[in-house]
Amino acid sequence: MAINYKKCYYILFADRKTKKELKLLINQNVVNKTDSLKILGIYFDDKLSFPTHIEYVCKKVKRNIGLLYRIRNFLKYQGMREIYFILFYHFLIYGLCVWGFAKEHHLNRIRLIQKKIIRIMSFKSYNCHTLELFENFNVLQFDKLIKMNVCKTIFKAINNQGSNILSGFF
């Protein structure tokens, strides 16, 4: 199999103080450095703060909000809940154990979008409190999604149900 050197990149994970440049060669071809890289659907940046991935999730989720506005008049409670899980939930939870501990100001964007979605589903105004709305739809808030995902991962690791990578940590 031949390697396409134009598609080969490397990323150096470091704090903001460390600025190193490496000259990486494969068969005398230079491998270029990048600040952000998509691996298995998750955008990693060189500081592991995940702003690119969070922007990606926000775009994907926002794209479906207009659809929710248009169809909400035709659905009842259970239908709205199912639409939430079809259109939004999978974007929020994919790889959450990896990127869910990003900086608060990045994660706050997702929290606000999730609240907006719940308000739309409930036909409530933009400034309505959402705690009761989440409970009514039996949907977890974003922070609780993070905790649930981490707990599930730890449970699977302890009970040897998940990846062997984590089994030695617990």
Per-residue pLDDT, 169: 61
157 found inside a domain: yes
The DSSP string of the chain is: ----GGG-EE-----TT------EEETTEEEEE-SEEEETTEEEETTS--HHHHHHHHHHHHHHHHHHHHHGGG--HHHHHHHHIIIIIHHHHTTHHHHTTS-HHHHHHHHHHHHHHHHHHHT--TT---HHHHHHHT---HHHHHHHHHHHHHHHHHTT-S-TTTGGG-
- Which range of residues forms the domain containing residue 125? 48-163
63 found inside a domain: yes
Per-residue pLDDT, 120: 94
- Average pLDDT over every residue of 30-50: 90
Looking only at the bridges linking them, the beta strands covering 29-33 and 24-26 are antiparallel
- Average pLDDT over every residue of 84-88: 94
69 shares its domain with 140:
yes
89 shares its domain with 14:
no
Per-residue pLDDT, 53: 96
For residue 5, pLDDT over 90 is answered with no
Number of domains in the chain: 2
69 shares its domain with 152:
yes
For residue 166, pLDDT over 90 is answered with no
**% of residues, the chain, pLDDT over 90:** 61
**Mind listing the pLDDT tens digit for each residue in 126-158?**
999 999 999 999 999 999 999 999 999 888 888
Facing residues of 38 across strands?
Answer: 43
Range with the poorest average pLDDT among 18-27, 69-78, 107-116, 140-149: 18-27
Question: What average pLDDT does the structure give for the chain?
Answer: 89
85 shares its domain with 125:
yes
